[in-house]
Homo-oligomer: A and B are copies of this chain.
């Protein structure tokens, strides 16, 4: 089944637009083993989320053992919950094909994030996996996002708007989405207008200071779906004690319910 259908199925079943970011930081973990930590978080939240999103950086930072934990984690997540590999890769064609092979073939992610800087042929090897989701990084949540993404071209378009429109062109197979930060609600609103039907992956609430209510209101499509609200630190580290999994469940449940209130569901 294709990614968007799988996402919507999980989202409706769990009545949730929440995505838990599985970004283990050893300095904050209440247990030593990363896979054990992720497993407890997944067990505690699997009925509260529409998908999970491990960011590869946190696993790569731990070397081979981190990547072994990542592979076990993806494998452990119930098959009816999609998993987005947040890797933001971008390179020329034959190299992008190797990254796609790593992310889809080896780790078995259902979707990935990609960087648009190198243009269409750097994204195409990912798009060719028609049953997978491809989230193109568009307007990000960090404060330097404006350095380049807000540059205005000679037609009056901002760079991130051009990226959004081009990603729309690339969406022939219905498998393309966009990454838009929760810290820039006006840009989110605009991107939703430019791409009314595409899934939007929205990180940046919580530790990064994004506005949850505006992210939900501006991020959802006409059916009040297709926005994926990411929370990592505020769920994973809700408690640093032995009750971390219950605390994560409580934080995730509250976020899910708040999101549902904001979308009127």
Contacts and interface: CB of A to CB of B under 8 A. Distances in A.
Contact of A119 (B71, B106, B147): B147
A144 B121 contact: yes
A159 to B, nearest CB: 7
Contacts of A92: 140-142, 208
A89 interface: yes
A23 B57 CA distance: 21
Number of copies of this chain that the complex holds: 2
Interface of A: 23, 25, 55, 57-58, 60-64, 67-68, 71, 88-93, 95-96, 98-99, 101-102, 105-106, 115-122, 137, 140-149, 151-154, 156, 159, 162-163, 166, 208
Contacts of A148: 116-119, 159, 162-163, 166
19 contacts: A25-B98, A61-B102, A61-B106, A62-B102, A62-B106, A63-B102, A63-B106, A90-B115, A92-B141, A92-B208, A115-B115, A116-B117, A118-B137, A118-B140, A120-B144, A121-B142, A148-B162, A154-B154, A159-B159
Task: Pick the most buried of A57, A106, A115: most chain B CB atoms within 10 A of its CB.
Answer: A57
A48 B234 CA distance: 52
Contact of A58 (B89, B98, B152): B98
Contacts of A71: 63-64
A129 B232 CA distance: 27
Given A60-B98, A61-B99, A118 B144 contact: yes
Top 3 A-B pairs ranked by shortest CB distance?
A119-B144, A119-B147, A60-B102
A39 to B, nearest CB: 19
Contacts of A96: 57
Contact of A122 (B23, B116, B144, B153): B144
A204 to B, nearest CB: 8
Given A89-B88, A92-B141, A145-B118, A64 B67 contact: yes
